[in-house]
Structure formats: structure tokens, C-alpha cells
Amino acid sequence: MLLSRPDVGLYLPPMIWGTQYDYTRDAVLLVFASHAYDNADYIRDYETFRAALDAAR
């Protein structure tokens, strides 16, 4: 999805693999989260993510 307007956002529910890239020089990324950031909470490897997703089903 291309977010090209300042009045449009995107909601990513839990267990959705998301990648942000190709920002313009004036771009802003704003994140609202239910908890403070903890690096240990994030899966950085897609295969590990898929295994966790399968286990959650």
C-alpha cells in the first residue's frame, strides 16, 4: 500500500509481517503502540515469523 497523503493511515493488527521502506526526504513515520518498545518482542526473520504464525493457529 502506498501511503501518499498525510490524512491516511494504516492499521497493522498483531501477527502481520510489515516492512517500511522507500521514504521521501520529508516523510514521517508515526507509530501508536499499546506497550513501550522492547526489541525482544519482535521477530526479525520471516521463517521464524511463519512458524510462530502456524503455532498460533
pLDDT score for 3: 84
Name every residue whose Cβ is closer than 8 Å to that of residue 19 and which is 6 or more positions away in sequence.
Answer: none
Q: What would the pLDDT profile of 12-54 be if each residue is shown by its tens digit? A: 999 999 998 888 898 888 888 889 999 999 999 999 999 999 9
pTM attached to this predicted model: 0.69
- Closest to 32 in 3D by CA, of 10, 2, 17: 10
DSSP 41: G
Domain ranges, ordered by start, for the chain? 1-57
Angstrom distance (rounded) from CA 42 to CA 49 = 9
pLDDT score for 42: 93
Query: Given a cut of 80, is residue 1 above it in pLDDT?
Result: no
pLDDT, greater one: 48 or 9: 48
pLDDT score for 26: 87
Angstrom distance (rounded) from CA 6 to CA 38 = 27
